[in-house]
Structure 1
Amino acid sequence: MAGQLIVGLDVSTRARAEEIVVALGDSVDFYKIGYQCFYGADGFALGKELLRAGKKVFFDLKLLDIDNTVEKGVAAIAATGATMLTIHAYPRTMRAAMRGAAGSGLCVLGVTVLTSMDDNDVREAGYERDAAGLVALRAQQAREAGIGGVVASPHEAEMVRTIMGPKPAIVTPGIRRAGSAMGDQKRAMTPAEALAAGATHLVVARPIVEAPDPGAAARAILAEMAGKRTSFA
Structure 2
Amino acid sequence: MSNLPPVFLAVDTTEASRARALIRAAQPHIAGVKLGLEWFCANGLSSTGSLMAECGLPLFLDLKFHDIPNTVAAAVKAVAPLQPALLTVHAAGGLAMLAAARDAAPAATQLVAVTVLTSLDAADLGATGVTEDTAAQAVRLADLARAAGLDGVVTSAREVSSLRARWPEGLLVVPGVRPAGADAGDQKRVMTPREAMAAGASVLVVGRPISAADDPAQAAASIAAELAAWA
Aligned to 2:218: 216
Aligned to 2:98: 94
Aligned-partner Cα distance in 1 for 2:147–2:48: 30
Aligned-partner Cα distance in 2 for 1:29–1:191: 14
Aligned-partner Cα distance in 2 for 1:24–1:43: 23
- SS of residue matched to 1:7: strand
Aligned to 2:147: 144
The answer (yes or no) to whether the contact 1:114–1:152 under 8 Å persists in 2 is yes
Aligned to 1:31: 33
What's the CA shift for 1:69?
Answer: 1.1
Alignment RMSD (CA, Å): 1.6
Aligned-partner Cα distance in 2 for 1:207–1:44: 27
The answer (yes or no) to whether the contact 2:45–2:82 under 8 Å persists in 1 is no
Aligned to 2:160: 157
What's the CA shift for 1:2?
Answer: 6.1
**Structure 1, residues 164-219: CA drift from partner, whole Å, max 9, x if none?**
2x222100011001122211111000000000000000000011111111110001
Aligned-partner Cα distance in 1 for 2:52–2:211: 20
Q: Which amino acid aligns with 2:101?
A: A
Compared CA separation, residues 30 and 221, structure 1 to 2 (3 A): same
The answer (yes or no) to whether the contact 1:173–1:204 under 8 Å persists in 2 is yes
Instruction: State TM-score, norm by structure 2.
Output: 0.92
Matches within 5 A, 1:62-77: 62-77=64-79
Aligned-partner Cα distance in 2 for 1:114–1:25: 27
Unaligned 5+ segments in structure 1 are: 229-233
Q: Which amino acid aligns with 1:58?
A: F
What's the CA shift for 1:6?
Answer: 0.4
Aligned-partner Cα distance in 1 for 2:44–2:180: 31
- SS of residue matched to 1:79: helix
- SS of residue matched to 1:159: helix
Matches within 5 A, 1:145-224: 145-164=148-167, 166-224=168-226
Q: Which amino acid aligns with 1:129?
A: E
Moved more, 24-33 or 180-189: 24-33
The answer (yes or no) to whether the contact 1:56–1:83 under 8 Å persists in 2 is yes
Percent identical pairs in the alignment equals 39
Q: Which amino acid aligns with 2:223?
A: I
Q: Which amino acid aligns with 1:98?
A: R
Compared CA separation, residues 2 and 220, structure 1 to 2 (3 A): farther
Match of 1:20 among 19, 22, 44: 22
- SS of residue matched to 1:178: coil
Instruction: State TM-score, norm by structure 1.
Output: 0.91
Aligned-partner Cα distance in 2 for 1:99–1:205: 30
What's the CA shift for 1:38?
Answer: 1.3
Aligned to 1:44: 45
Aligned-partner Cα distance in 2 for 1:169–1:64: 20
Aligned to 1:134: 137
Count of matched residue pairs: 225
Q: Which amino acid aligns with 1:153?
A: S
